[in-house]
Structure 1
């Protein structure tokens, strides 16, 4: 029972982090209206969060990896909880930006250390399933948590939504305190060796693919709520339903991307990057009603999250001697892409573009990802995926 409860507590934490990372996309109109800022300015909340993850992932991991994992994870969730309370209480836009940055600092290290813990509390040979079990919390957050929080923000307000998310942080802390083994020790790192590996051109190119993939997704996803209203005439009351469909696409893509990557990392990445670009080109042209928009969002979501497992496999392949730090830095790379994508979408809108233009900009980034992917794969020898540690954005 100890193993089951330990994994459940990690999954609850992943659910909470997924809820706070992705819920602002559905709350942008409410936040913008309440704080008297534009939609592009509100989109900077996503940029700041992503930058915080990018900076916090390696720094917090290096600071805490040698500590007791139980104490480290509880400390990280305390940062999460405080950050969400500060977000709920923020009196103005700038304070909310700072609060979101504070919240983000736990993200990468929680998943990195949590994955290590997950592999320790199961029998040998079941490590991959344990990691998948933890990350299932994040995909569930996209299916149920984010739409529910979006609906709550529409009914009661965005501040109340952040308070609810902070309660998830308290719940996770209590679960971690009760379920994780007390005698689990931290992990030693050969920092010099791992930093040297991270400077290899092959590693940097693989991580650039990660950045571009996440950028393509977040150029559109950050502004999905107003985009659905503008392009597809989706009523505000149905936005939460659309987000459920996005979450289903994410879950489907995460599963299929992993299965296909076991067969061929290269073909999987080529196909999904191309599909991601294609869906964002076609969305403004075809998604003119709620039903068509819903179908296309499932496909887009599957392509967006489908690239995550094979990208992680590629990074782990080319940084095989430095997987601990590379895993954490790759989480940062995903979130750098999140920030770049959100900023690109804001730039399109701020310079007179519309939400169709935002979608086309995301498609262009995905096309650039295909070019860099081609260069990356030509510089690295094809390898079987093997058993690697999964990650998420």
Structure 2
């Protein structure tokens, strides 16, 4: 890994930790702040809302500045509000802190994706982007379980203190190791908004929000799936999540290599088909513990393997507005998170089993495949239209 990519990976580590550790800390936060678990769950929604709003907004505001300054400013905001999360005296203060903690999330990954692609060797842009997302996978593998353990055995506030420290270290390494890159963006936001007039842009957003929503329909309900259908003990769930995290680490590098070797749109379509098949297998075979663990690893790998191909696809599509496009993709990922959790929960409300959400996930993944197919067709037609006529 290039030294210049390390600060981006560190940022991904901090962001991944603060986003996903909340799921494990909800009971501790609810107990400590004397609120219900559903009320504590609003902290997750507040963070996701911050991501969706902050991703395009902060990139548009800061687009005329050099990428290094943008990334440093985003991590300063991230560190400040995670520090506030650690010291929040009331649930309302924590809710506000979580919202503002989410604002830099999508913008950091959006700007970071473009920076990584510009720092990469020729033909290895997607692999460079995957190095940034490696931080997020390491967070799921190590730091989320660690943060959950700290919250259970000490107090949840220490976990956000750890995240704030990661933020401070990231700021330091951005300053020391990230090179100064020139601004490559239109001079005004009106030019950037042409991105949203492109049908291809919206197809990529739909691929991301609908297709990856299938993954979140699975992982949002993985704990009851494993305890009620696969019949694992509740104490095993943390280890199972580590297995899924290890799958994410492996899948992240595979996705990066695939996107550099093959067409990104076709790579996304292939990975979504594999996800749909895997989710369908989870529905039918999760009663077998060995098979269930194997499928958990595969689903974890596929979940993050899509990250680099989708980012490089948007960067190639959003010429002149690459940072905004990449940030919008991150917002779409979080929309997929919300849609997957919502639609995945609907079968449970009518009394279906805890493996039913993966059927919803299968349909959502196949929806992503359909949008990817339409995009591939449009790209093919565009390529034919630009070919010179002989004769």
Same fold (TM over 0.5): yes
Q: Deviations over 1:221-251 (max 9, x none)?
A: 2343344333333334333322221122222
Structure-to-structure mapping, 1:230-309, within 5 angstroms = 230-261=228-259, 262-265=261-264, 267-288=266-287, 291-309=290-308
Question: Equivalent residue for 1:336?
Answer: 335
* In the alignment, structure 1 residue 55 sits paired with structure 2 residue 53: yes
Q: Determine the C-alpha separation between the residues in 1 that align with 2:284 and 2:95.
A: 34
Question: Equivalent residue for 1:391?
Answer: none
The 1:106/1:150 distance shift into structure 2, 3 A limit, reads: same
Question: Equivalent residue for 1:326?
Answer: 325
Q: Determine the C-alpha separation between the residues in 2 that align with 1:272 and 1:309.
A: 12
Q: Tell me, yes or no, if the aligned pair for 2:211 and 2:366 is still in contact at 8 Å.
A: no
Q: Deviations over 1:182-240 (max 9, x none)?
A: x6554442433332232222221222111112211222223433443333333343333
Offset of 1:59 from its aligned partner?
1.1
Question: Equivalent residue for 2:186?
Answer: 189
Q: Tell me, yes or no, if the aligned pair for 2:213 and 2:336 is still in contact at 8 Å.
A: yes
Offset of 1:119 from its aligned partner?
5.7
Q: Tell me, yes or no, if the aligned pair for 2:113 and 2:311 is still in contact at 8 Å.
A: no
Question: Equivalent residue for 1:112?
Answer: 110
TM-score by length of 1: 0.82
Q: Deviations over 1:297-325 (max 9, x none)?
A: 11111222223333334434443454332
Q: Determine the C-alpha separation between the residues in 1 that align with 2:268 and 2:119.
A: 32
Q: Tell me, yes or no, if the aligned pair for 1:213 and 1:337 is still in contact at 8 Å.
A: yes
Structure-to-structure mapping, 1:168-207, within 5 angstroms = 168-180=166-178, 186-190=183-187, 191-207=189-205
Question: Equivalent residue for 2:81?
Answer: 83
308-317 or 291-300: bigger deviation: 308-317
86-95 or 304-313: bigger deviation: 86-95
Secondary structure in structure 2 of the residue aligned to 1:381: helix
Q: Deviations over 1:79-119 (max 9, x none)?
A: 21232233334455554333221111111222233345446
Offset of 1:34 from its aligned partner?
5.1
Offset of 1:43 from its aligned partner?
4.7
Secondary structure in structure 2 of the residue aligned to 1:144: helix
Question: Equivalent residue for 1:135?
Answer: 133
Q: Aligned to 2:216, which of 212, 215, 218? A: 218
Q: Determine the C-alpha separation between the residues in 1 that align with 2:333 and 2:155.
A: 29
* In the alignment, structure 1 residue 25 sits paired with structure 2 residue 23: yes
367-376 or 24-33: bigger deviation: 24-33
Offset of 1:178 from its aligned partner?
3.9
Q: Tell me, yes or no, if the aligned pair for 2:130 and 2:252 is still in contact at 8 Å.
A: no
Q: Determine the C-alpha separation between the residues in 1 that align with 2:63 and 2:214.
A: 32
